[in-house]
């Protein structure tokens, strides 16, 4: 029963241009980033490698189901990993689907997770400069996100201030899984810098903080690890609200990337009930939590929620707000959403324009 009706609606060819809010660029080898790093850090990387809060230095502890977490057809002719060849990305993705604009979400080499803060900062700087030189300057359809070493707020702010004046950057990237929940005060200088720069914070699933990836402990399977992304993002939203971040920074906006969205109404209802009961514990929260959720958060669509009854998806999006969803493909990853088959419900023209293009233009200032 639950397995039926996958593609009942067939293809819905996109007539409007598409903004893809989650594209992953990759580097072929550390040599690609070397020109943007001091010799000292190139040497450090070569000799000591990545130093993370997990047992494996460069492999995730839950091996993925496909090489490179990628679509089988996304390995480019340059011999590098998926996402490492701009020309191939143009042909296979941007041109093929009529992507008018793409937001790069650079997950590697993950300077934000390094235990050595100075090395992490050096990796972030190099990642940012490389994104601009290797991608955005060569392809005007692409924009970048600022990666920063969030556990060292001063260094993170310096990196934001260094990069933000360049219009190549349209968002500041943070992992949801950090050493502390996102609302804790150690991160507030970052939010202050984001407000000053006029950029939203984009939180893309990732992070190696040493905490188990579920509150129940370490899962056994990639299945669970993948599923848990939705839970860690709920903890982020809860923390940002309850710590008073959204009150303290009333213009700050958050884009939640690749974590689903169907949970948002439920989380808002639950937090509202608890707030009515225990608001004296969190006097910094001035309004029902669901109001902050409605006003300050956006969600990318991939992996699109597949309700058993397609009509239920419309109900969920009606509750969240059609102005909150930003289309994304997650190219070149395995669970890519094809824009022609993403929705199993018929969208109105206004909904389609908003979700596939205009909402993103507005939130990222494209």
Partner 1 sequence: MPQPTPKIPTLGAIDCDVHVSVPSVGALMPYLDDYWADQFRMRGIDRLDFSLTAYPPNAPLSGRPDWRPKQGAPGTDREMLSRHLDRFGLRAAIAQCLHGSMALHTEDMAAAFCRAINDWMRAEWLDKEPRLFGAITVPMQSPELAAEEIERCAADQRFVQVLLPAATDMPLGRRWYWPIYKAAERHGLPIGIHAGGLFRHAPTATGWPSFIIEDYAAQSQLFDSQLLSLITEGVFTKFPDLKVVLLESGITWLPPFMWRTNKIWRGLRPDVPWVTQAPPDIVRERVRLTLQPFDAPEDPVKVRATLDHIGGDGMLLFSTDFPHWHFDGDDALPFGLPPEILPGLLSGNALATYPRLAAALQETVA
Q: Does 243 bind partner 1 (CB under 8 A)?
A: yes
Instruction: Give the x/- contact pattern for partner 1 in 276-315, rule: CB under 8 A.
Output: -xx--xx--------------------x-xxxxx--x--x
Binds partner 1 by CB under 8 A, chosen from 135, 275, 299, 327 = 275
Torsional sign, CA 23, 27, 32, 33? positive
**178 scored as a contact of partner 1 (CB under 8 A):** yes
Residue from 162, 227, 294, 361 that binds partner 1 (CB under 8 A)? 227
Q: Which stretch binds partner 1 (CB under 8 A): 89-97, 103-111, 255-263, 341-349?
A: 255-263
For partner 1, the binding residue among 71, 184, 353, 361 (CB under 8 A) is 184
Q: State which residue, 131 or 229, has the beta carbon closest to partner 1.
A: 229
* Distance (Å, whole) CA 243 – CA 203: 17
Total Cβ atoms within 10 A of residue 276: 9
Q: In the chain, what is the straight-line distance between the N-terminal and C-terminal CA atoms, in Å?
A: 43
CA angle 305, 310, 311 (to 5 degrees): 115
Using the contact rule CB under 8 A, the part of the chain among 89-97, 147-155, 210-218, 355-363 near partner 1 is 210-218
Binding mask 129-168 for partner 1 (x = CB under 8 A): ----------------------------------------
CA distances from 314 to 16, 138, 142 (A): 21, 39, 30
Q: 321 in the Ramachandran plot: left (φ > 0), alpha (ψ -120 to 50) or beta?
A: left
Minimum Å gap between C-beta 282 and partner 1 is: 6
The answer to whether residue 335 forms part of the interface with partner 1 (CB under 8 A) is yes
338 binds partner 1 (CB under 8 A): no
From candidates 68, 102, 209, 332, binder to partner 1 by CB under 8 A: 209
Q: Which is nearer to partner 1, 19 or 264 (CB)?
A: 264
Q: Exposure string (b/e) for 38-51, b if CB count within 10 Å is 16 or more?
A: eeebbebbeeeebe
Tell the smallest beta-carbon distance from residue 77 to partner 1 (Å).
Answer: 27
Residue 225 or 323 having the CB closest to partner 1: 225
Cβ 11 to partner 1 shortest distance, Å: 19
Q: In this structure, what token pair is assigned to residue 147?
A: 């990666």
Closest alpha carbon to 23 in 173, 232, 166, 129: 173
Number of residues that bind partner 1 (CB under 8 A): 70
Give the C-alpha separation, 79 to 341, whole Å.
30
Query: In degrees, to the nearest 5, what angle opens at C-alpha 313 toward C-alphas 312 and 316?
Result: 90
Per-residue burial over 119-142, b if 16 or more Cβ lie within 10 Å, else e, is bbbbbbbbbbbbbbebbbeebebb
Q: Residue from 56, 65, 72, 350 that binds partner 1 (CB under 8 A)?
A: 65
Q: Are 16 and 353 in contact (CB under 8 A)?
A: yes
Integer Cα distance of 103 and 105 in angstroms: 6
What are the residues binding partner 1 (CB under 8 A)?
Answer: 1-3, 65, 176-184, 207, 209, 211-224, 226-228, 230-232, 234-236, 238-239, 242-243, 260, 262-263, 265-267, 269-275, 277-278, 281-282, 303, 305-309, 312, 315, 319, 334-335
């Amino acid at each position: 029963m639950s397995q039926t009706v996958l593609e009942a609606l067939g293809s819905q060819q996109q007539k409007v241009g598409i903004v893809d809010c989650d594209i992953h660029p990759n580097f072929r080898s550390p040599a690609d980033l070397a020109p943007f790093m001091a010799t000292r850090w190139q040497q450090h990387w070569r000799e000591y490698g990545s130093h993370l809060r997990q047992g494996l230095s460069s492999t995730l502890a839950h091996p993925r189901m496909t090489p490179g977490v990628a679509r089988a057809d996304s390995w480019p002719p340059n011999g590098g990993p998926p996402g490492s060849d701009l020309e191939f990305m143009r042909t296979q993705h941007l041109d093929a689907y009529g992507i008018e604009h793409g937001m790069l979400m650079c997950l590697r080499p993950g300077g934000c997770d390094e235990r050595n803060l100075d090395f992490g900062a050096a990796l972030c700087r190099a990642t940012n400069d490389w994104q601009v030189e290797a991608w955005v300057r060569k392809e005007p359809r692409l924009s970048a996100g600022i990666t920063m070493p969030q556990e060292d707020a001063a260094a993170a702010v310096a990196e934001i201030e260094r990069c933000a004046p360049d219009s190549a950057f349209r968002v500041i990237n943070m992992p949801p899984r950090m050493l502390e929940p996102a609302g804790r005060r150690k991160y507030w200088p970052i939010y202050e810098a984001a407000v000053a720069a006029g950029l939203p914070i984009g939180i893309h699933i990732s992070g190696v903080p040493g905490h188990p990836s579920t509150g129940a402990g370490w899962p056994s399977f990639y299945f669970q690890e993948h599923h848990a992304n939705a839970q860690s993002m709920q903890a982020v939203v809860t923390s940002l609200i309850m710590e008073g971040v959204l009150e303290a920074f009333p213009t700050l906006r958050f884009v939640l990337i690749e974590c689903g969205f169907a949970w948002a109404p439920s989380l808002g209802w639950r937090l509202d009930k608890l707030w009515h009961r225990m608001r004296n514990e969190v006097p910094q929260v001035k309004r029902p939590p669901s109001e902050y959720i409605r006003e300050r958060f956006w969600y990318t669509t991939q992996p699109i929620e597949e309700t058993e009854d397609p009509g239920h998806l419309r109900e969920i999006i009606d509750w969240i707000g059609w102005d909150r969803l930003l289309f994304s493909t997650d190219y070149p990853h395995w669970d890519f959403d094809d824009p022609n088959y993403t929705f199993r419900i018929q969208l109105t023209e206004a909904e389609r324009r908003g979700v596939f293009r205009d909402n993103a233009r507005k939130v990222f200032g494209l």
